[in-house]
A and B are shown apart, each in its own frame.
Chain A
């Protein structure tokens, strides 16, 4: 084995405390990259998925709902909550100009008591007119959505063919949707007849949350796809002017709030990553400089034994590379162990659409983290490698330098 390989390994092994400290530091730096970039990428992927998923240009809700706390999360991300307006508004909206597609949705929340398998948002939709749910069905039994059939979000741990109970009513899972990285992944979609059955059952169980709610007479929101010939803003203004007691939103504008939050979170993550890296690079630089400085006599011995300046330089840099690559790999593994099993928790805590990128993107980010870690080692040790290789062995051994 060549000296610049074996000696570097031996030096790393021969100073276990120092090497372990530097490996841990580099691991933290690499983990910061992996966690930071995967988080930001997941947020961007989640936002993209949410934009694609919404499908509608305009969303119409009761005017009173717009002031409701958590309103945007309910309509955009499937967070639990409900509000209603008379179904006549649906007809009024449908009668306006410039509307290509229109479909109503009705929100219902399941209970956390024993009558329901899991508390979640139940969204009633009309399969006949729907254009926002059906395109995202990943797996289904085929056929039409019958009474007590439900379509489930991707994160629900039930499979197509299973059953799920709401208000003591057993429903059949007939389809599963693609992932969005939002609470929509834990929502359940069904037709209005099933909604009617569920509200009736909730009343029988003495739960009065949905008393007076007749799915034939109310809707929670109306989703609109604007016809190609009409500007969206024009249709939006028309609806806000002529359909009173409702509030119409352009979905892109609603998402821009999420997008702003994402920019803010991404910025904070970026600053934190820069801080970790800035501090880490300074510590690595000092550690390598001090280490080389205290081993000047060793390097002088290598020189008198015949090592060239280039070989000395390579020995120092390869020692740094061993440490930073080992730390980098450890950090990448640690980062993946944080991100992959706990992405659900992270999704909950950031409260933004969060969708892990595809495996090849994660692999590319990890490879980049390893490369950056190695580059950090090379950069942090380059100065001390250059300096020690320039010194004359004779002067070091005399102690003049």
Chain B
């Protein structure tokens, strides 16, 4: 399934003295293809994460539309969009994100818990363990996130994004704050996912990441360009 953004833009209003509108993402067209790792680089504040969030169905654009195949995702109501997001996307958010009261394996299986669907639970757990083994966090299955290092948390977030075998993985600065060893590991994991047929869209500052990319865009002051 090709994910295409048509003329999407996003405006924000900064509250201060008077009203201060600013455009984080200027009208943009972009297509993300399955089996490819698409890289988006740019300076801080250039609008990379805003574009990623709009593509991921997490932030409605001010104008334009985001199509997953033929489906305009922002024409769906919240329940249907949430279900659609759950089914088709995996998101690795910026920073360290986890539900503090759940164990590592529960965090990874989170989207299945949200469903309330216990059917096939064993198979889901088995796949979660497979991912944990692949990412070197198998022994942390029953630990709480507070016991994990930054690198381990990031790998847990990647496993969580991949648990449903999504059509597309969005990774927002997945190597931020990681040491060289973990950075390489994370980039390799995303590369393998793309090789397996998943569309991967990665936003990063990491200069070396372009080695792993099939398509490379750059963003500057809300405008996107091909590198």
Interface residues of A (CB under 8 A from B): 1-3, 6-7, 10-11, 13-15, 295, 297-298, 300-311, 392-395, 397-398, 400
Residues in B neighbouring A393, C-beta threshold 8 A: 53, 58-59
In the A-B complex, the 10 residue pairs with the smallest Cβ-Cβ separation, listed nearest first, are A306-B86, A394-B53, A14-B101, A394-B59, A2-B116, A394-B58, A308-B82, A10-B101, A304-B91, A305-B111
**CB neighbours of B83 from chain A (8 A):** 306, 308
B102 and chain A: residue at smallest CB distance: A10
26 residue pairs A–B, Cβ–Cβ below 8 Å: A1-B116, A3-B113, A3-B114, A7-B101, A7-B113, A10-B101, A15-B101, A297-B95, A297-B97, A298-B100, A301-B110, A302-B114, A305-B110, A305-B111, A305-B114, A306-B115, A307-B114, A392-B59, A393-B58, A393-B59, A394-B54, A395-B59, A397-B49, A397-B58, A397-B95, A398-B50
Q: A2-B116, A306-B85 are in contact. Are A7 and B12 (CB under 8 A)?
A: no
User: Who on chain A is nearest to B116 by CB?
Assistant: A2
Indicate the member of A295, A300, A393 with the most B CB atoms within 10 Å: A393
Q: Are B116 and A304 in contact (CB under 8 A)?
A: no
Give the residue of A3, A14, A392, A394 whose beta carbon is less than 8 angstroms from that of B116. A3
User: In the bound complex, do residue A301 and residue B99 qualify as a contact, i.e. CB atoms below 8 Å apart?
Assistant: yes
Q: Give the CA-CA distance A311 to B111 in the complex, in Å.
A: 12
Contacts across chains A and B counted by CB atoms under 8 Å: 100
B172 touches A397 (CB 8 A): yes
Task: Give Cα A223–Cα B46 distance, bound, in whole angstroms.
Answer: 95
Other CB < 8 Å A-B pairs besides A303-B58, A306-B115, A394-B59, 4 of them?
A295-B100, A392-B59, A394-B49, A394-B53
Write the chain A residue with the least CB distance to B111. A305
Q: How far is the CB of B155 from chain A (nearest CB, A)?
A: 15
Task: Using A310-B78, A392-B58, A392-B59 as known contacts, say yes or no to A301 and B114 having CB atoms under 8 A apart.
Answer: no
Contact A304 to B58, CB < 8 A, known contacts A7-B113, A398-B50: yes
Bound CA–CA A6/B58 (angstroms): 25
Does B220 count as interface, using CB distance less than 8 angstroms?
no
Instruction: Give Cα A60–Cα B110 distance, bound, in whole angstroms.
Output: 81
With A297-B95, A398-B49 known as contacts, the answer to whether A304 contacts B102 (CB < 8 A) is no
Given known A-B contacts A3-B114, A300-B93, A397-B93, A309 and B78 have beta carbons under 8 A apart:
yes
Q: Which residue of B lies closest to A393 (CB)?
A: B58
Number of interface residues of B (CB under 8 A): 36
- Min CB distance B88 to A, Å, is 10
B28 interfacial contact with A, CB 8 Å: no
Q: How far is the CA of A304 from the CA of B161 in the complex (A)?
A: 9
Check B58 against A301 for contact (C-beta < 8 Å): no
B68-80 vs A, CB cutoff 8 Å, 1 = contact: the mask equals: 0000000000110
Whether a CB of chain A sits under 8 angstroms from the CB of B158 is: no
Q: A3-B114, A393-B58 are in contact. Are A304 and B93 (CB under 8 A)?
A: yes
CA distance A311 to B85 in the complex (A): 14
Cα-based distance from A297 to B83 in the complex (angstroms): 20
Closest B residue to A5 using CB positions = B116
Binding site for A on B (CB under 8 A): 12, 49-50, 53-54, 56, 58-60, 78-79, 82-83, 85-87, 91, 93-95, 97-102, 110-111, 113-116, 118, 144, 160, 172
CB atoms of A13 and B86 under 8 A apart:
no
In the complex, which of the residues B54, B85, B113 contacts A6, with contact meaning CB atoms closer than 8 Å?
A: B113
For residue A309, give the distance in angstroms from its CB to the closest CB of chain B. Answer: 5
Choose one: A2, A13, A303; the contact of B101 (CB below 8 Å).
Answer: A13
Asked whether B114 lies within 8 Å of A306 as measured between CB atoms, the reply is yes
Beta-carbon nearest neighbor of B103 in chain A? A10
B111 x A306 contact (CB < 8 A)? yes
Chain B residues with CB under 8 Å of A6's CB are 113
CA distance A343 to B101 in the complex (A): 43
Cα A357 to Cα B115 in complex, Å, equals 48
Question: For residue A300, which residues in chain B have a CB less than 8 angstroms away from its CB?
Answer: 93, 97
Closest to A299 in B: B99
A295–B102 alpha-carbon span in the complex (Å): 13
Assuming the contacts A7-B101, A392-B58, A392-B59, asked whether A301 and B113 have C-beta atoms less than 8 A apart, the reply is: no
Name the distance in Å between A160's Cβ and chain B's nearest Cβ. 61
Measured CA separation A400–B54 after assembly (Å): 15
Contact B102 A302 (CB under 8 A): no
Chain A nearest Cβ from B97, distance in angstroms: 5
B79: contacting residue among A1, A7, A308, A394, CB under 8 A: A308
Residue of A with least CB distance to B113 = A3
Residue of A nearest to B85 (CB): A306
- Distance of B169 from chain A, by nearest CB (Å): 12
B100 touches A14 (CB 8 A): yes
**Alpha-carbon distance A7/B91, docked complex (angstroms):** 20
Q: Write out the residue numbers on chain A whose beta carbons fall within 8 Å of the beta carbon of B60.
A: 392
